[in-house]
């Protein structure tokens, strides 16, 4: 069956290269190429997801080389039993893989076998019956309103160079004031500025959403561009590093580590924590879940509902502190 050619995404291997890198028989490599092209062109998966899926499938077929005594064919894949898949999971567990990574790995494998089933190449009920491990229900850890304000104020002076301080403030203001993911803020080009009252953001799964822009965010970006020493054209990145190249997520993480240390904030104060803070503070201020879901770009309302738990947990914490203080005064 002919498949449309998929255009490689920057950072992700092309379908042909992805297939060749997997130690499998030629017939399996052909289907891996088709599956990978499907993920790239039809599912429109992000580069990070494509890279993870490819890595997981490669590890699976490396295991099968040892497990079966040679490169797996399509016929071998159809004969695999639940015990074979469990042996692979057990091997990866022994290698130190944690539950969250195991869950992602199984998701990658199910995706490949579902594709084979849907395209009528082969069917393996055991592969489709694989269950992911239960994951701990971790709540987001937002900053307090004061903590977020202190971080923004410190960002402007922490770098020493005024233009870098203005840049860092602009980036963090977009995370906290607009609820953007770090990748979304850093993917903006110079053509996006001057910012208008709303931004059209392309998020996970290439889903678009409209995000209102606060005046503080517009002013922060304008101030950064006034101080930026590089003559950026509309096709250049909006946020650049010291060499004029697009600012990357590692640089933002390093910036946050520096700010945490300067302010004595916990390790949970990460770039993504500012997005959590945006949602939590909106909810505490009376925002409704459905609106917050749209602003964050969550596919499911259940994902957004975790912020109600954060808000409730914070109220209980305040109540407990008040009760402790009341008891202390009573017996003091």
d(CA 130, CA 97): 17
Reference 280, options 170, 179, 159; nearest CA is 179
In terms of residues, how long is the chain?
332
Give the residue carrying structure tokens 């993870």: 52
Is the distance from CB of 200 to CB of 284 less than 8 angstroms?
no
d(CA 20, CA 26): 9
Helices (H) then strands (E): counts for the chain: 16, 2
State the catalytic residues.
Answer: 181, 204, 272, 275, 298, 307
Is the distance from CB of 94 to CB of 138 less than 8 angstroms?
no
d(CA 288, CA 87): 46
Reference 201, options 215, 184, 216, 189; nearest CA is 184
| Angle value at C-alpha 24, between 21 and 26, nearest 5 degrees | 95
Q: Is 197 exposed, middle or buried (0-12, 13-18, 19+ CB in 10 A)?
A: exposed
């Amino acid at each position: 069956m002919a498949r449309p050619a998929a255009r490689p995404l920057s950072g992700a291997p092309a379908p042909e290269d992805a297939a060749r890198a997997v130690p499998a028989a030629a017939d399996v490599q052909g289907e891996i190429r088709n599956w990978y092209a499907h993920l790239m062109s039809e599912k429109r998966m992000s580069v990070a997801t494509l890279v993870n899926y490819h890595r997981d499938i490669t590890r699976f077929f490396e295991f099968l080389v040892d497990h079966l005594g040679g490169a797996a064919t399509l016929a071998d894949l159809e004969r695999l039993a639940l015990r074979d898949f469990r042996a692979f999971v057990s091997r990866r567990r022994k290698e130190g893989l944690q539950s969250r990574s195991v869950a992602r790995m199984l998701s990658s494998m199910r995706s490949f076998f579902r594709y084979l089933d849907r395209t009528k190449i082969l069917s393996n009920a055991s592969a489709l019956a694989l269950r992911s491990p239960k994951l701990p229900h971790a709540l987001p850890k937002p900053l307090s309103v004061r903590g977020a304000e202190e971080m923004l104020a410190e960002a402007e002076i922490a770098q020493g160079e005024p233009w870098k301080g203005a840049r860092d403030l602009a980036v963090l203001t977009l995370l906290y004031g607009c609820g953007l993911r770090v990748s979304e803020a850093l993917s903006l080009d110079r053509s996006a500025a001057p910012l208008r009252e709303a931004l059209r953001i392309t998020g996970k799964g290439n889903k678009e959403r409209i995000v209102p822009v606060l005046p503080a965010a517009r002013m922060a970006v304008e101030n950064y561009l006034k101080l930026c020493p590089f003559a950026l054209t509309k096709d250049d990145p909006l946020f650049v590093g010291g060499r004029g190249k697009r600012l990357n997520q590692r640089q933002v993480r390093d910036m946050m580590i520096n700010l945490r240390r300067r302010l004595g904030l916990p390790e949970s104060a990460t770039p993504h924590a500012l997005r959590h803070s945006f949602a939590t503070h909106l909810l505490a201020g009376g925002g409704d879940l459905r609106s917050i879901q749209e602003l964050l770009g969550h596919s499911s309302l259940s994902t957004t509902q975790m912020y109600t738990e954060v808000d409730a947990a914070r109220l209980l914490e305040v109540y407990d502190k008040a009760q402790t203080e009341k008891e202390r005064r009573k017996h003091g």
